[in-house]
Structure 1
Amino acid sequence: MYDESSPRDPKTQSVEIEFRPVGDIVKDVKQALETSFSRVYVSGEISNFKRHASGHCYFVLKDDDAQLRAVIWRSTANKLQVLPRDGLQVEIRGRVTVYPSRGELQLSVDNLRPAGEGAAQRALQELKQKLQREGLFSRAHKKTLPRFPERIGVITSGSGAALQDILRVVGRRFPVATVYVMSVRVQGVGAPESIAEAIGLFGDVGTTEPHRCDVLIVGRGGGSVEDLWAFNEEIVARAIFDCPIPIVSAVGHESDISISDFVADVRAATPSHAAEIIVPDRYDVAAALIDARRSLDRSINMQIQESRQRIDYLLTSYYFKRTLDQVLQLQTRARDLEKRLSDAARRLIVERGILVTGLYRRLFGQRTEERIELLKASTADLLRRLHRAFGIQSSQNRTKIESLQKQLLLVDPERPLRTGWALVTKDDSVVTTIENIEPGEMVRVRFVDGEAEATIDSKTAALDDSDPET
């Protein structure tokens, strides 16, 4: 009991006061409100709209002077023709009640219809249209993300969960990358300026500087529309557009769309998704390298095999044998020409000798000494000229024959065999390396004067300690 009587007023009688539980008071207030405000008509702007998994919708209805929490129960939400969204100016019919668990005033919506876009949302749409006209959203300005970034810049709150998500994903997928973090304000007064300044600082690093980042992540974790509003500001949009480094926007959750998402080179649904977009999975990279090496090995082996087949074909081809036949023919022809030239020279000498003899006899018979001497000199000169021409022609023919013999020796496939080498084949293919044979296999060995079959007992790779350049 609580005694409210005053000791100084004898006329005051003692009054007993009963203290009631909080729940009773809230119930009375709830009943009074629902009786007095059983049907109200109110207009305002929707903010912080959320639809629960149960189907109930919760939001804040606000204007310039006040705000009121509101709820749309699932049965009512399923009948609405227009789904509420942030920034939508609406006209609502409902009733005012109290949410007992929190003791909060709440508007229970019975019907809702749009009354136009809210002021903030209209301003956002106007800015979006302005930037689009200027080309800030054009795909022509989008930069390509690097395939294997070595340095990643992150612009977000240093104490937020978004940063930890990014670091965890990068560390798991591509730990060789270095992450540079610049902590900024992501909401509230000064947040847009802080974000834009950080983007500019990353972009000002020279392309030859060791800390120049290959790609940037700009974003934050989820929140209300007001919390994410900094990424809708024009100063942030222009900083992203002017940055020479590719930027991935990662603001809020997948359903949150900001102007930064439109301007950035790539939009990610969440900060974790941004990290997954930027860096490859190291296991995928390793698998790709293995596949590339196998493909290269196959290509090289194929080229070697094709070259071997080509050489074997040439060695056994008609044209190769035809070349040897032509050399032999030229050699025979040269000998024939030499013999014919020699015979012609001898015939000429004999004929000239007969002529000289006849002249000599005629002259001798006349006893003309001067004519005899002249004839002798003419004959001697003729003989010298014939011998000189015969010698020159013979030398030229001999040089030509020797050259043809040398060419023949160079292309002779049996030349190495005559010096002690042997040609090893397996299955009609030339064995060029020890890797082509295995112990127990049969091979054929060709010598200069015949062939033999052999069985490989063992093999030993050659040790080459010499300089490969020598």
Structure 2
Amino acid sequence: MSQTSFQTPTNKIVLSISQLNQQSRNLLEGALSRIWVEGEISNFVRPSSGHMYLTLKDDQSQIRAAMFRGQNQGLSFTPKNGQLVQVRGKVSLYAPRGDYQLIIDHMEEAGEGALRREFEQLKQRLSEQGLFDPAHKKDLPDIPKHIGVITSPTGAAVRDILSVLKRRFPAAKVTLIPVAVQGDKAKTEIVHALDRADNFNQGQELPIELIILGRGGGSLEDLWAFNEEIVAQAIYRCKIPIVSAVGHEIDFTIADFVADLRAPTPSAAAELVSPDQQELQQRIQDFEQFFVSTIQTQLVQQQQKLTWLQKRLKHPGQRLRDHQQRLDELDSRLHNAIQNALQLKKTQLRASHTNLLRVTPTHRITQLKNQQNNLKHRLLLALQNSNQHAQQHISQLAQRMHAISPLATLARGYAIVSDPDKNIIRTSEQLQVGQLIETQLHQGHVVSEVKRIKKK
């Protein structure tokens, strides 16, 4: 089909389909170039190209949408079907199909989903900063005499807290620090209330010993003031122990993690921080019985001790006799000690006399003579042993010399041949026919004449 326009005989301008779609696209993008739309995701797909294609819908209508890879790479969450989102983009038209669509350049979670994501991000950041560290948690007093309550003065939470405190421990002083617990001003008022409580304690005879910070239940958005970072920082730096009691048992806020203790409800917080007066009365009665029993036991023990001391108390005459007996015993022990000392000295004297005799010249001469005789005897034994070893050595050498002697060789049947000049004949080359030779045997000599010479 031609892509150009043409005029009919009636001079009407007729557009091609491509031209119509292109002009429609220009009109849409010009009029709706940067808009925000909220809707629920359906038909979500993400092919290998990285682009995102989806349908946004509400309860009455829907529109196709696309978010290309260059824009969706910075998303902090992964879109999924059924999720409510807010998107920003321009309305355009996909010319090949003639479908108009929304080209998205920004997407964020809508409603409570966005708040949940912000909650988790803040929780992670504060945890890394150490605001949830158990080492920073302060201990709560067992019996607080002064309790501070930071909450709305008109809500159900304050009534529940005061009712429980009055029932369980009416002796405690309660100071209400009213704040807004919802809305834009809530976070600032909570921070100021915590600072006021810290400042109030300076110079007070009865300072606030713990604080209940809380409110009744509500949606995540209603409770959001207790998820603000400035509130978390104020709780962290507060010197007074804080019990967080925000919402119902299933509700969790940042304040719960920073506080020194979390209570599931405001009523539960009042239960946790206040002792039961009936239990206290019972404890007092138990202590009273314990002290009475202890005192009675001490009296009995002291009476027994007094009786024992009275029995030990003796008449002066008896004490004198006891001392006289003691003196006689000591005198006997002293006499025995002197006798033992004298006997020891006698033994030492005899030992010294014996040692003195050992070092006299006569005794020394006798010792030297004995040593001389001993050395002489040892010398004779050494000479005998040395002579015996020498004789054995000479005998061994004679045997070895005899083994290598020429006479020993002759005795085994060998002979020594020499010429008349006594030159030893070793080869047949030294002999001539008719030459006289002398053969020495083991016993005797033989003179011979060479008749024939064999070379081999």
TM range (shorter): 0.3 to 0.5
- Rg comparison, structure with higher value: 2
TM score, norm. by length of structure 2: 0.47
